[in-house]
Amino acid sequence: MRLKNGDELVANGATKDLRKKRKDALEILTAAVEAVDPYQVVAEVFQKEHLLLGAETVDLSKFDHVYVIGFGKSSVPMARAVCDAIPVSRGVVITNDSSATMPCKDVEVVAGGHPLPDEGSIRGTEKILSLLEQCGTRDCVIMVISGGGSSLLCKPLVPLEDLRVTIELIQNSGADIHELNAVRKHLSQVKGGKLVQYTNASVFTLILSDVVHDSLSAIASGPASPDPTTFSDAKAVLFRYRLWDRVPGSVRGIIEAGIAGSVPETLKEGDPCFRSVRTLVVASNQLACDHAVKKAKALGYTPVLLSTTLTGEARAVGRDLILKARHYHAGKNIALISGGETTVTIRGDGVGGRNQELVLSCVSEIEGTRLVVASLGTDGVDGNSNAAGAIADGATLSRAREERLEPSLFLQKNDSNTFFSLLHDAILTGSTGTNVMDIQVVLS
């Protein structure tokens, strides 16, 4: 991971001690992101013509053809690792990077929409389905899945614009990823395990996890995994967030039809379609946090891994992290590491994201202390901003007030990026090519 403004972020520390801690926090975050490089983690599961799936080793040479399909922000480097490891007959990958290419001419790259699906998502999905339908029982498909797959793999049961409106309403409501996906899966012809219905081949799925607890049914909305949710669950989510009467009529119609049994449910545990499917999570937030801990220790800190399953409202989680930091503050050089995925309930029309909002909620809490707090989206994108996250320290509040910036006012508008951009404390990385949710570092 390359920090575009690393020197400036360090220089913004008001004292030598704060500058050192800022530098250390950024190095810890960098180590975490680099540990989950999508090409490397996929390359490591191949050994000659064998695929290492945990305790199981698969001899790929026994298949007539090996195909690769993928969808997600990291699908291209993941697919490239497959092509570099073994001969691949054909493939299709869908990514959100319109400039991405594959050195293997037989693997097509299609650009789709993220965070909302678009016509490119649908076009790429149709190409994947066409490939899957041509596979026989003596063929195998290596499926590479990463964050963003829910948006990039798209064959909806409702008009695309109705799906986009529904997703945006749920995303802005404060719902978590499991609740969002419960709805998305029941408006799709390929999510919730349905993708595997399109092929007779053996399917080996390699996953870069971007959800808490690495739930296979949630990652990219579980296209090759059993789905524990139902149409009734999808309806309950929309009622819970008072969205039932706000979503398009086509969405209500499909969900009601599903509850009545006239639209097929998603695939459940025990469905025969899953007999030929094997899955391996090649990287997760846990791996990233483990390397963050290792880096913190190398820098002379006593690392404490708080959690890799952090959830909740970003501003509340931020304040809770500072409470924990005060608990550990009796010891010097403590590095609190955490990871997960918080949520933001949209109340204003500002620019920001969950990582910057989390850090913004800490600014007043750490005033006058030696604490440094940073939070980063491992994909390099935080919310609707161009930043990956933000960093703050015990002098940030005084710097802000010198510029007549009041943190609470920016929090009210969900305008965290504007606050940190004005202080030059927004972390800028550009797309990192990976995605295992978020990492937080608090140094004392």
Evaluated on CA atoms 426, 431, 437, 443, the torsion sign reads negative
Question: Residue 86 class from Cβ within 10 Å (0-12 exposed, 13-18 middle, 19+ buried)?
Answer: middle
Bridge partner list, 57: 52
**Kind plus residue range of the DSSP H or E element containing 139:** strand 139-145
Instruction: Work out the angle between the directed axes of helices 285-298 and 16-34 (0-180°, nearest 10).
Output: 140
Phi, psi of 28, rounded to the nearest 5 degrees:
-65, -45
Distance of CA 272 to the CA centre of its chain: 29
Tell which residue, 178, 109, 110, has the closest CA to residue 150: 178
Evaluated on CA atoms 10, 15, 20, 25, the torsion sign reads negative
For strand 202-208 and strand 438-443, is the pairing parallel, antiparallel, or unpaired?
Answer: unpaired
Q: Where are the beta strands (DSSP E) in 25-133?
A: 46-47, 50-53, 56-59, 65-71, 90-95, 107-111
pLDDT at 327: 83
The answer to whether residues 358 and 391 touch, using CB atoms and an 8 Å cutoff, is: no
Residues in CB range of 197: below 8 A, 6 or more apart: 267, 273
- Give every strand in the sheet of 107-111, ordered side by side: 107-111, 90-95, 65-71, 139-145, 202-208, 277-283
pLDDT at 4: 96
For strand 107-111 and strand 139-145, is the pairing parallel, antiparallel, or unpaired?
Answer: unpaired
Residue type for position 244: W
DSSP state of 277: E
- Alpha helices of 336-406 — where are they, by DSSP H? 354-360, 396-402
pLDDT at 99: 87
Residues in CB range of 291: below 8 A, 6 or more apart: 31, 32, 34, 35
The answer to whether residues 129 and 197 touch, using CB atoms and an 8 Å cutoff, is: no
Query: What SS3 state is found at 107?
Result: strand
pLDDT at 97: 87
- Tell if the pTM clears 0.75, that is, is over it: yes
Question: Residue 130 class from Cβ within 10 Å (0-12 exposed, 13-18 middle, 19+ buried)?
Answer: exposed
List domains and CATH numbers for the chain: 6-36+285-443 (3.40.1480.10), 38-155+190-229+266-283 (3.40.50.10180)
pLDDT at 111: 96
Query: Per-residue DSSP letters for 303-340?
Result: EEEEEEEE-SBHHHHHHHHHHHHHHHTTSSSEEEEEEE
Bridge partner list, 140: 66, 202
Say how far apart CA 191 and CA 220 lie, in whole Å.
8
| Structure token pair of residue 361 | 């909620």
Tell which residue, 267, 217, 241, 70, has the closest CA to residue 167: 241
Q: Each residue of 198-254: pLDDT tens digit?
A: 999 999 999 999 999 999 999 999 999 999 999 999 999 999 999 999 999 999 999
pLDDT average per 10 residues of sequence, the chain (444 residues): 95 97 98 97 95 94 97 95 96 92 90 96 98 97 95 98 97 90 98 97 97 93 97 98 98 98 97 96 97 98 96 96 84 90 92 98 96 96 96 98 97 97 97 94 96
pLDDT at 427: 98
The answer to whether residues 114 and 96 touch, using CB atoms and an 8 Å cutoff, is: yes
Say how far apart CA 51 and CA 62 lie, in whole Å.
12
